[in-house]
Chains A and B, each alone.
Chain A
């Protein structure tokens, strides 16, 4: 098949990202030609500020070197500006006469800095801040001149001023508005920021309008004059008063433009052969200037260029962070507030970094905007609450104090990415330091959490440092990072967990193959990340119909035992409610002796763990235990693990309820059920709570008048105490509420999401509505759990001791010496 011709105009980040995505999807579909006005390969524009500040070097910020273009067969015309698009003959023409024909054209012309139309704007020494040439001009000016004036105190202007100051210039920032960064900050935060920038030696002139730039004897700019008649010296003037989409070429070709080149949700322009992405685009009236939305556009555009035809770009919520070392500022959403909104404020003018200020804007029970100054480690959390529209009414009174104050001990005490040293360890599982992560982000051109995980392994094991890694990513990339609004399940699909689940339910899909076909999976066979999730969604939604696909389960769930580092397995028999008989203890002792189990441990969940069993021996071990009445403890599964209990009113002089029996009842009801992640319960017989029920997924605490029910606790990587759900009186009520809560978790949480983050995502009021207030809904959820248990409450060990899945436990062949 003859290849189609794709021409891209503009060699920047959004365009090249589109090509990268396209090459992943359809590597052989197009012959690609790229025109770029700058004489460089694609580089990371975001990192020009660190280059200016002397923290990085130019070669560090190249994203796609020349070899990349060559290896992918892309013809690169660097330093050639396209001046004409001939839509009839379908070709583009550059200023030097170079022509290229196209079947599809991709416009990625970016944006142009806005230049104030004042006399003297063309003098030598007057520049914008946009590209490598501008940055080099500033670095050069700092060597030879003293006075710099930056016009515009937005994000870019302040970063330029900071860089020039660090290079030894005397810097004044001139701004038309009454406070700096007025499009991102309210006055209070802006004043604090100004104060600390002044402490770094920058000067500010606010409310000043530029009248003229005055040339000196050498012909270079020498001073800036204001409308009020005042004047200050300036041998370098940097205009940073905004950018506008570069639409000149598109307009001259008759392509419909408004503020930017108008595109639909597939990034197609009004000419169906022509697509556009990046800062030159106006999508639903908005032109974005941050990289995260542009990368989302790139992904969708590539998909349509590859003629897969899936995915729509529907706009992005953006946030801002200033990349000035040592200063923490964050802003997102509707940070000014107004009609119908309320502000939550926390302010300490004497806080660290010259002040602490937090403002959260609420509308009804949702967070809609935030400004943080001096302490922004919770920015990702606030941003997430905003994007997901979480009902925050239950945490409203604690919201200002941040996520780490939601009753937990945090992650190793370290929660501030900005304050960390390069040598500080971030990922305690894989031993990754902050410096390693920053280096990987900058030198390898990483923009997403997944990229960082793959390259550094940080946050790739237990995940407890994920927030910290996101902070480092945000801090290193500044305002350019924001997590995508809808996170796809994995790289095999653009659909999110919730969308996949809805499709399974609404379209009655009952096998992994069906889901992949209906939702147009990109990889026929899925991957180790989506297949276990799909299998779980299927069996939990259609317990009677979906077939459990063991090849899509992690080894522990496939082998019904926990794999250990040496490839042997551990075996944990179930002891209902942590209660144990002489016969059971004897059976465990006998099995350990007979099979020469090298080590045993009492687990945290009141069970006995037998280590070092060879896989081939598992069915025999299980057969031995089964004959003595013991069943699988599911210590290996995303499943009901254990119900831990204290001894309760039978023996304890303080006990007010029979916690042991309640634990046994709960465990008999729920054992064998699969859940999105592991699920633990506990029952205490009195408020002294010796079973530690308040750090379990579902905790029950006996009180004199009945039982208190708690949800969403966690004692693992991130300690979280439960939320109180309600009080009930009878045993039957405890079982019904426990069953209903567990079933709603099973049906609605995302795979690998524990109850704690699930509740924080959907909000406690939602859980209370479903489980406490809606009696009919509760009864029906309880019923659905019991129906599913008809299918899944069986002992997988007994089956396997009888020969089920024999292939799993026997070698294919033994070749003798």
Chain B
């Protein structure tokens, strides 16, 4: 019940979480939310992505993995996860929820309403 109320108040709004430069290139930072950690990634091309900080395999913190291209390798067992979609790269199967994120100027804005294709919210 409590969770539902919290969810209601934070969803459908963009929250400024920091500057692009605060995230290392080919790295990630964590945004702590009442509904769990979200990893915000920045790749070499300065694209920014946001995923639930939880690998679909054994729940490893994706924010701690090595970022390359548009993927991250989970630090626990080296599963590779696509940053745009949160989908595990074949032949592995599973997904981490992805969150809408946008960059305006140098600022990063995050929405706490996950994109719909993945049930691992």
Residue count of chain A within 8 Å CB distance of chain B: 30
Q: Select B22's contact among A527, A807, A816, beta carbons within 8 Å.
A: A807
Within B24-51, which residues are at the interface with A (CB < 8 Å)?
A: 24-27, 29-34, 40, 43-44
- Which residue of B has the minimal Cβ distance to A815? B33
A525 to B18, CA, bound (A): 25
Given A552-B66, A816-B34: A524 touches B44 (CB 8 Å cut-off): yes
Please state if A563 and B24 are interface contacts (CB–CB under 8 Å).
Answer: no
In the complex, what residue of chain A is closest to B70 when comparing beta carbons? A525
Is the CB–CB distance between A528 and B68 below 8 Å?
yes
Query: How far does the alpha carbon of A555 sit from the alpha carbon of B39 in the complex, in Å?
Result: 15
Please measure, in the bound complex, the distance between the C-alpha atom of A322 and the C-alpha atom of B64, giving whole angstroms.
47
Interface size on B, residues (CB 8 A): 38
CB atoms of A813 and B18 under 8 A apart: yes
Contact of A811 among B27, B29, B78 (CB under 8 A): B29
Q: How far is the CA of A461 from the CA of B67 in the complex (A)?
A: 20
When C-beta atoms are compared, the residue in chain B nearest to A559 turns out to be B64
Q: Is the CB of B68 within 8 A of A527?
A: yes
Contacts of B24 in A (CB 8 A): 550-551, 807
State how many angstroms separate the Cβ of B76 from the closest Cβ of chain A. Answer: 7
Q: Given the complex, which residues of B lie within 8 Å of A523, measured CB to CB?
A: 68-69
Q: Let me know if B6 is at the binding interface, CB within 8 A.
A: yes
**Given A524-B44, A812-B23, A812-B30, is A454 in contact with B66 using a C-beta cutoff of 8 Å?**
no
Looking at the assembled complex, report how far the CB atom of B93 sits from the nearest CB atom of chain A, in whole angstroms.
Answer: 12
Residues of B within 8 A of A272 (CB): none
Q: Shortest CB–CB separation between residue B54 and chain A, in angstroms?
A: 9
What residues of A have a CB within 8 angstroms of the CB of B105 in the complex?
none
Known A-B contacts A455-B91, A812-B40, A817-B6; the reply to A563 vs B76 at CB < 8 A is yes
A526 contact from B34, B60, B61, B68, Cβ within 8 A: B68
Residues of B within 8 A of A531 (CB): 66, 68
A814 sits at the interface (CB 8 A): yes
Chain B's closest residue to A813 (CB) is: B17
Q: Which of A524, A532, A555 contacts B65 (CB 8 A)?
A: A555
Q: Which residues of A contact B23 (CB under 8 A)?
A: 807, 812
Known contacts A812-B30, A816-B34; is-contact A525 B44 (Cβ 8 Å)? yes
| Option from B6, B25, B31 in Cβ contact (under 8 Å) with A813 | B31
Given A455-B91, A525-B26, A554-B75, A813 and B32 contact (CB-CB distance below 8 Å): yes
With A552-B66, A813-B18, A817-B6 as given contacts, are A525 and B73 in contact (CB-CB < 8 Å)? no
Quick check: B29 and A807 within 8 Å, CB to CB?
yes
Cβ–Cβ contact B58 & A565, under 8 A: yes
CA distance A711 to B61 in the complex (A): 38
Q: Chain A: which residue is nearest B90 at the CB level? A: A454
Q: Is B15 an interface residue (CB 8 A)?
A: yes
Residues of A within 8 A of B60 (CB): 565, 567
Q: What CA separation (Å) do A553 and B67 show in the bound complex?
A: 10
Q: Could you tell me if A551 and B67 are in contact, using CB atoms closer than 8 angstroms? A: yes
Decide if B15 touches A815 in the complex (CB within 8 Å). Answer: yes
User: How far does the Cβ of A516 sit from chain B's closest Cβ, in whole Å?
Assistant: 11
Q: Answer whether residue B10 sits at the interface, using C-beta atoms and an 8 A cutoff.
A: yes
Residues of B contacting A563 in the complex (Cβ-Cβ under 8 angstroms): 61, 64, 75-76
B31 touches A555 (CB 8 A): no
Residues 783-817 of A, flagged 1 when their CB comes within 8 A of B and 0 if not, give 00000000000000000000000010001111111
Complex Cα–Cα for A812 and B61 (A): 15
Q: 23 A–B contact pairs at CB < 8 A? A: A460-B78, A523-B68, A524-B69, A525-B26, A527-B69, A528-B78, A551-B25, A555-B64, A555-B75, A559-B64, A563-B76, A565-B58, A565-B60, A565-B76, A567-B59, A807-B22, A812-B18, A812-B23, A812-B30, A812-B40, A815-B15, A815-B32, A815-B33
> Which residues of A come within 8 Å of B, CB atoms?
454-455, 460-461, 523-528, 531-532, 550-555, 559, 563, 565, 567, 807, 811-817
**The 8 residue pairs across chains A and B that have the minimum distance between CB atoms:** A812-B29, A817-B34, A528-B73, A528-B66, A555-B64, A551-B26, A813-B17, A555-B75
